[in-house]
Amino acid sequence: MAQDDPTPPPPAGPDRQAPAPLDDDRALDPDPPVDLDAFDPDEFEWRPVPRRPRADGWSPEVQRAFIEALADTGMVEHAARAVDMSVQSAYRLRRAAGSEGFARAWTAAVEAASHRLIDLAFRRAIEGEEVPVFDRDGCRIGAKWQHSDRLLMFLLRAYQPARFRHAHQSIRRPEEPLPAAAPPVADAVAALAPPCPAAPHRLMPPDRAVDAIATARAVAEAQARYPRDDREHYRRVPVEPTHPAAHQRAHRRHQREAGRDDSD
């Protein structure tokens, strides 16, 4: 005959409480299913997948990075170096058939980079330009700052015409139309990508759309938790060192002068 279990049975009914889930259990809970009829497509960046990638390396991402670097530097060589592409291939793509959007973005980037010349002109007019000073042996012994009065007056005429209107004259004829303004660089870069169709998630099979949305959400959550720090710290402009030949000439001259002092 079996013995009775002395342990009382758990209470039944509404008084019984289930144990609270642990944090680890919550982390392992599956994400809610994706409803293609309830989510907002504008929360995602839809990128078309090309059927055949470009063989020359100028992918849409590379083109956007090149245009952004060109807008920052104003120099084609620096922009090509930033994307590890040759300057010749950039010019070939600019004049190639079907690359009108890239050419328009190039023009907008150069227009944006021209504002850097204004900043450079202000710096040279206010701070001056550093001119190195050399001794008779060619060794750099210091520097002096030179200011350009012509550049200063040019900026005053351009940005203070109310006070310096006697020196500010327009060379444009009244009937001559103004040139067309270049589009903003951000709009030109956005135009490099093909237009996004309406309801792009409907163009994919439902299972692939659900997987793509879940992956995009996971990547966005990881980037929000662990943001990247791509800051570029300020770096001083290096001073050009003295040429070794100048050091040798100075050393020989000092030896000759020291020999004359000993003979005296």
Q: Quick one: which H or E segment has residue 145?
A: strand 140-146
- Residue 79 inside a domain? The answer is yes
Is 66 in the same domain as 96? Answer: yes
Residue 108 and residue 137 in one domain: no
- Using the 3D structure, point to which of 89, 113, 137 is the last residue of a domain: 113
Which positions of the chain have pLDDT values less than 50? Answer: 1, 25, 50-51, 168
- On whether residue 88 sits in a domain, the answer given is yes
* Pair of tokens at residue 109: 């980037």
Q: What confidence score (pLDDT) does residue 137 get?
A: 76
Answer whether residue 118 is part of any domain: no
pLDDT of residue 116: 86
The range of the structural domain enclosing residue 153 comes to: 128-171
Residue 206: per-residue pLDDT: 80
User: Is residue 223, in this structure, part of any structural domain at all?
Assistant: no
Element of type H or E holding 244? helix 244-263
Considering the entire predicted model, what is its pTM?
A: 0.47
pLDDT for 120 = 85
pLDDT of residue 34: 67
Q: Is 218 a domain residue?
A: no
Q: How far apart are CA 102 and CA 50, in angstroms?
A: 17
Q: Are 79 and 71 in contact (CB under 8 A)?
A: no
CA distances in angstroms from 156 to 122, 164, 244, listed in the order given: 10, 7, 44
Domain contains 83 = yes
Q: Sign of the CA dihedral 54, 55, 56, 59?
A: positive
What's residue 220's pLDDT? 80
Domain check: are 101 and 144 in the same one? no
- For 146-199, the pLDDT digits (tens) are 888 888 888 887 777 777 656 545 555 667 776 677 778 888 877 777 777 777
- Helix residue ranges per DSSP H, 84-227: 87-95, 100-127, 149-159, 185-190, 206-225
- How far is 93 from 185, CA to CA, in rounded Å? 18
Residue 23: inside a domain: no
Number of domains in the chain: 2
Q: Is residue 232 included in any domain, yes or no?
A: no
